[in-house]
C-alpha cells in the first residue's frame, strides 16, 4: 500500500499551448489494472476544476 508497484505512462502531448505537457496519463498498478486521467475540458478548452462544473449555456 505504499505505491511502489505503480507505473505512470504519459499519452497524448501538446494541447492549446506550445509545450510538451501530457494531456493524458495512464496509471498501472502492480496487478496490471489501469486507468487513464485526462484533463477537464469545457467548450473545447482545458480548465482548472475545483470539484464542480458550471453550466455556461443559456437556457
Residue 27 domain-assigned (yes or no) = yes
Query: Domain for residue 55, yes or no?
Result: no
The reply to whether 56 falls in a domain is no
| Count of the separate structural domains present in the chain | 1
Evaluate whether residue 1 is within a structural domain: no
Give the residue among 22, 17, 16 at the shortest CA–CA distance from 8: 22
Query: Does residue 58 lie in a domain region?
Result: no
pTM for this model (two decimals): 0.60
Range of the domain at 27: 7-46
In-domain check, residue 19? yes
Q: Which residues contact 2 (CB under 8 A, 6 or more apart)?
A: none
Is residue 53 assigned to a domain? Answer: no
- Note the pLDDT tens digit of each residue in 1-59: 788 889 999 887 776 766 677 788 999 999 999 999 888 878 877 777 666 556 666 55
Q: Is residue 12 part of a domain?
A: yes
Amino acid at each position: 500500500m505504499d505505491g511502489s508497484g505503480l507505473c505512470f505512462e504519459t499519452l497524448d502531448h501538446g494541447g492549446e499551448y506550445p509545450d510538451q505537457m501530457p494531456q493524458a496519463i495512464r496509471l498501472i498498478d502492480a496487478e496490471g489494472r489501469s486507468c487513464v486521467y485526462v484533463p477537464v475540458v469545457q467548450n473545447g478548452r482545458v480548465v482548472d476544476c475545483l470539484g464542480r462544473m458550471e453550466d455556461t449555456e443559456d437556457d
